[in-house]
Amino acid sequence: DVKVTQSSRYLVKRTGEKVFLECVQDMDHENMFWYRQDPGLGLRLIYFSYDVKMKEKGDIPEGYSVSREKKERFSLILESASTNQTSMYLCASSLRGEGSNQPQHFGDGTRLSIL
Amino acid sequence: AQSVSQHNHHVILSEAASLELGCNYSYGGTVNLFWYVQYPGQHLQLLLKYFSGDPLVKGIKGFEAEFIKSKFSFNLRKPSVQWSDTAEYFCAVRPNAGNMLTFGGGTRLMVKP
């Protein structure tokens, strides 16, 4: 069974801090994703990585960066946290393949509050 | 870029009522379609998916969805809901040649016992 683990369930940080959210998957998936989930807006893709050190911007990358130094780990970085980044952050992973019929598997989420 | 619309943000039903949640997408090419469910306090789980073939797909827990290509729709249905179906439901679309999902805004379903 696929396991996607996010390092924190709840996190409280201050405006201007640099924030790291960590995600680890144990199924050797090539693709990893970071989303934020906000009421009424569903999930919006922040960044996507299809291989180590490879990344692509999603729909809302502003104010965020990512790091993928190892295949199993995908980090989301808030360079200088702002209150509008208070949200639920979800990590997901999947096997690669154009037209692949593999779904994405999600972690439990990190509820981040920026004060 | 593709987009996904879920028309109902909140749905309240009594047990045994029938359910239909709407999902429409905009994209000109071939797509893969998904419904995910998030039970309270749990992570998102795949409910069902459509890639090709029979446009009526069956998922877990008695859910099914029908892909109507002409209407760009992928509505989720269940003939008789249970209290345990209380959750948030997300429709998602992925271009057949891509890896990135686009999600709808979600529908919160509350089933009254």
pLDDT tens-digit readout, B33-79: 999 999 998 889 999 999 889 999 999 999 999 999 999 999 999 99
Binary contact (A42, B6; C-beta < 8 A): yes
Size of interface A-B (CB pairs under 8 A): 61
- Give residue A100's pLDDT: 54
Q: Residue B84 in 3-state DSSP?
A: helix
- Give residue A91's pLDDT: 96
pLDDT tier at A104 (50, 70, 90 boundaries)? Answer: confident
Of A110, A107, A21, nearest to B38 by C-alpha is A107
Find the range with the poorest average confidence among A92-106, B9-23, B54-68, B88-102. Answer: A92-106
Q: Which of residues 1-20 of A touch B (CB under 8 A)?
A: 4
Domain boundaries, given as residue ranges, for chain B: 3-112
**CA B63 to CA B76: how far, in whole Å?**
7
Does residue A106 sit at the B interface (CB-CB below 8 Å)? yes
pLDDT at B21 > cutoff 90:
yes
- Give residue B34's pLDDT: 94
- Give residue A101's pLDDT: 61
pLDDT at A103 > cutoff 90:
no
pLDDT tier at A97 (50, 70, 90 boundaries)? Answer: low
Average pLDDT of every residue of chain B? 92
For chain B, state the CA radius of gyration.
13
Of the options 2.60.40.10, 1.10.10.410, 2.50.20.10, 3.30.70.100, the CATH number for the domain spanning B3-112: 2.60.40.10
Find the range with the poorest average confidence among A59-63, A67-71, A95-99, B83-87. Answer: A95-99
- Give residue A94's pLDDT: 87
Contacts of B3 (CB under 8 A, 6+ apart): B25, B26, B27, B102
**Residues A10-57 pLDDT 10s:** 999 999 999 999 999 998 999 999 999 998 888 999 999 988 999 999
Does residue A107 sit at the B interface (CB-CB below 8 Å)? yes
**CA A47 to CA A66: how far, in whole Å?**
7
- Give residue A113's pLDDT: 97
Q: In this predicted model, which residue has the larger pLDDT, B35 or A97?
A: B35
Domain A4-96+105-114 sits in CATH at 2.60.40.10
pLDDT tier at A99 (50, 70, 90 boundaries)? Answer: very low
**CA A90 to CA A102: how far, in whole Å?**
18
Interface test with A, best of B4, B94, B99, B102 (most A CBs within 10 A): B99
Binary contact (B103, A42; C-beta < 8 A): yes
Locate A68 and state its tokens.
Answer: 């993928």
Of B2, B62, B64, B76, nearest to B32 by C-alpha is B2
Residues of A in contact with B97 (CB under 8 A): 98-99
Locate A11 and state its tokens.
Answer: 């996190």
Binary contact (B90, A108; C-beta < 8 A): no
